[in-house]
Amino acid sequence: MGGSTEREAPAGDATPAAILRTSSLTPDALVVTVPGIGPTTANRLADVSVTSVFELAAFFPRRYRALRELEAPDESAIGELVRMQGEVRSVSMQWLPGRRSMVTVTFACADSSTFQAAFFNQPWLKKSYTAGQHRTLEGTLLKKGKRFVISAAKVLPQGAVADGEVQLRYPEVEGISSPRLQKWIAHVLDELDWNLVTLPALPSGLEEMSLSPRELLLAMHRPKNVEQHEQARRHFAIREAIKLFEAVERARRARAQRPAATFAVDPEMAERILARVPFELTAAQDAAVQTLWLKLAGPGAMGVLLQGDVGTGKTAVAIAAGLAVCRKDGMVAFLAPTELLAEQHYTTVSGWLKGSGVEVALCTASHRRKLPRKGPRIVFGTHALIAGDVEMPGLGLVVVDEQHRFGVNQRMKLVNKGENPHVLVMTATPIPRTQALVSFGDLDVVTLAARPPGREAVRAFHLPTEKWARAMRSIARAVKREGRVFVVCPAVGQEGEKGGVVRVHEALQKKFRCALVHGRIKQSERQRALALFREGIVDVLVGTTVLEVGVDVPEATLIVVVGADRFGIATLHQLRGRVGRGRRRGMALLCGPRTERVAAICATTDGFELAERDLALRGSGELLGTQQSGFQELLALDPVEDLDVLRRVREAVRNQDPQ
């Protein structure tokens, strides 16, 4: 029953320029020419990239819903979103426990029938609605006894135009109420000199409708129905996608045109490189390696996103590519998100390349040794590689592992240490297709879909908190069968926090041989605990998400996640990838409430499917707010729903002649 409305702030920051406006507005006029918008408000609008009158007209609603327009309450519309006009008949206010308030306004329709709307914790509204005032409301029509009620009522600004069967919701602008914003947009639509409004022509194949700019903008702000609004929204979605992909295409072409060192691989060298990988590559790995070798041969600098599900063997592919660079005494910088992962890569690859003449080095906060300056070399490291005092002469290839852990600027700092080196970006967390198109649209995507032979997908099972005893029995069973067990907790919890890793470790070590790892203990202690676990001196490793990546123990067969509801889909999928990496099949137990994320992990082992499911659960708003995602300024384009638009526009933009 509770609804909301917004207090309309006084238009006190209006300037003389706003008062002495002309009878019509030009598209490029500053927003201060709109009555009620002064310097303070103009600055707030500028924060959302609105500085001109046309940009205000193009500040589109983010969401829309179909509604029924009623002259009076109707039993057939109960439960539906409706719009009704009414005259204020009475206003009452009552105080609720906890200093909360409820203002109830009763409205009368033209046929004398009445309906009510309630507003919580907005006591000032008692004075805002005076008897005889006419207002328009939108909300869900309910019936409480014999009374009709508008639930979650949205009260339109006085004088606002609302005659279509659509409810619009505009993005929030800090310091500006929605009614004021909509009032200014309405004024612009009425006063804009439409003869001066033009829109750039769309690329061939993308034209969908032949409406004028005025018709398109009115359909966005004053649609008669959902279909009309959706047509216009799709038109402007195409325009926003064009802007995105033109920037992406400029970056891709610029990289391809810059001169870069080339590293061709002949059949003899290919055989020698693959002999250094201590297992036979899968068909998918071999195809990926061949693709990377072809791109390393030039002429432009390679830019590739290598994505694959957990356990598909991306590291071996990256090393095979790196050895092509080392063949010409080049340097490979391999950026990892954690010291644990960098050290594991260093240890593993050192064994592969022993006696090859390729020097393998490590550069982390704990191992800041001087790097080799000459000869073929591969350097594994963390953020320490990016430090200004770390020099990388002969840098030919940059490999960024777990790209989602690094920003674009961090990647570029490492790239800029060389003269246009080749770039290989890897992610073990498959990313949504929409984000791949834009965030990594300047990169060529290479996908590893198949797991190595014998490595089966790890099934996950939900376990309610009250059935923790089952988890204990599963741990005991795995240990008895000489398997190793990971137990992962969402927090350190040193003060005895429920679900904290310290408390869980204290409980488990009474029954099992345990070791403890988390971010607050020294790196040397973490390494020692991991070594004890690898060697089988301890059977259970209890830790936080420092275990998410970088721990490869083939004997591990079970992972128990405490408080699984507190983790995201990508993290849960990564965690289960820590087990089942040897000859025996792995299993994951997800303990805690059964959330939609937990259910998704239990339903499928396909990381690509989970990436799409994750985005669907979080919604496009999450993607729109992701820093450096490329989606921040979109209003018409929905990167989740408009995948077909993104694909069509990318193809059209790529086929355009370079400007």
Tens digits of residue pLDDT in 508-520: 999 999 999 887 7
Residue 546 lies in a domain: yes
Residue 52 lies in a domain: yes
Residue 133 lies in a domain: yes
Same domain, 585 and 475: yes
pLDDT digits (tens, 9 = 90+) for 363-381: 988 777 777 778 899 999 9
Domain's final residue, options 604, 623, 645: 604
pLDDT at 371: 79
Nearest to 542 by CA among 582, 581, 492: 492
Residue 236 lies in a domain: no
Same domain, 386 and 512: no
pLDDT digits (tens, 9 = 90+) for 310-345: 778 888 999 999 999 999 999 999 998 888 788 888
Same domain, 587 and 505: yes
Same domain, 518 and 505: yes
Same domain, 444 and 510: no
Nearest to 248 by CA among 205, 204, 199, 303: 303
Distance of CA 506 to the CA centre of its chain: 36
Same domain, 494 and 561: yes
Same domain, 45 and 135: no
Phi, psi of 322 (to 5 degrees): -60, -35
Are the CB atoms for 295 and 444 separated by under 8 Å?
yes
Domain's final residue, options 582, 604, 626: 604
d(CA 126, CA 434): 47
pLDDT at 190: 92
497: pLDDT confidence band, cut at 50, 70 and 90? low
CATH code for position 508: 3.40.50.300
The H or E element that residue 136 is part of is strand 134-144
How is residue 183 annotated by DSSP?
A: H
Domain's final residue, options 556, 577, 604: 604
pLDDT at 201: 87
Same domain, 58 and 84: no
- Per-residue pLDDT averaged across 628-636, rounded? 59
Are the CB atoms for 518 and 447 separated by under 8 Å?
no
Cβ of 597: how many Cβ atoms within 10 Å?
23
Average pLDDT, the chain: 84
Q: Is the pLDDT of residue 473 over 50?
A: yes
Residue 591 lies in a domain: yes
Residue 385 burial by Cβ neighbours in a 10 Å radius (0-12, 13-18, 19+) = buried
Of the listed ranges 427-441, 467-481, 553-567, the least confidently predicted one is 427-441
Same domain, 293 and 434: yes
DSSP string, 35-67: TT--HHHHHHHHTTT--BHHHHHT---SEEEE-
Give yes or no for a cis peptide into 299 (omega within 30° of 0): yes
d(CA 537, CA 530): 10
Higher pLDDT, 310 or 83: 83
Of the listed ranges 61-65, 295-299, 426-430, 495-499, the least confidently predicted one is 495-499
DSSP string, 464-533: -GGGHHHHHHHHHHHHHTT-EEEEE-SB--TT--TTBHHHHHHHHTTTS-EEEE-TTS-HHHHHHHHHHH
Residue 381 lies in a domain: yes
Residue 265 burial by Cβ neighbours in a 10 Å radius (0-12, 13-18, 19+) = buried
Same domain, 68 and 47: no
d(CA 332, CA 377): 6
- Per-residue pLDDT averaged across 189-200, rounded? 92
How is residue 102 annotated by DSSP?
A: E
Question: To 5 degrees, how large is the angle CA 43–CA 47–CA 48?
Answer: 125
Same domain, 424 and 280: yes
Q: Is the pLDDT of residue 5 over 50?
A: no
Task: Return the percentage of the chain with pLDDT > 70, whole number.
Answer: 87
Amino acid at position 102, single letter: M
Q: Highest-confidence range of 138-142, 303-307, 436-440, 607-611, by mean pLDDT?
A: 138-142
387: pLDDT confidence band, cut at 50, 70 and 90? confident
**Tokens (6 digits) for 648:** 């069509």
Of the listed ranges 14-23, 432-441, 533-542, the least confidently predicted one is 14-23
Residues 6+ positions from 146 with CB-CB distance below 8 Å: none
pLDDT digits (tens, 9 = 90+) for 541-589: 998 876 655 567 889 999 999 999 999 888 898 888 888 888 888 999 9
d(CA 641, CA 488): 35
166-169/63-66 β-pairing? antiparallel
Amino acid at position 535, single letter: E
Q: Is the pLDDT of residue 6 over 70?
A: no
Same domain, 418 and 465: no
In the numeric block, the tokens 């840098």 are attached to 395
pLDDT at 192: 93
Q: Which domain holds residue 534?
A: 459-604
Residue 170 burial by Cβ neighbours in a 10 Å radius (0-12, 13-18, 19+) = middle
d(CA 648, CA 659): 20
- Per-residue pLDDT averaged across 115-127, rounded? 92
pLDDT digits (tens, 9 = 90+) for 220-265: 999 989 999 999 999 999 998 888 888 878 877 877 777 889 999 9
The H or E element that residue 308 is part of is strand 303-308
- Domain count within the chain: 4
Phi, psi of 334 (to 5 degrees): -115, 105
Of the listed ranges 111-125, 401-415, 421-435, 508-522, the least confidently predicted one is 401-415
Residue 629 lies in a domain: no
Residue 612 burial by Cβ neighbours in a 10 Å radius (0-12, 13-18, 19+) = middle
pLDDT at 149: 96
Q: Is the pLDDT of residue 19 over 50?
A: no
Residue 622 lies in a domain: no
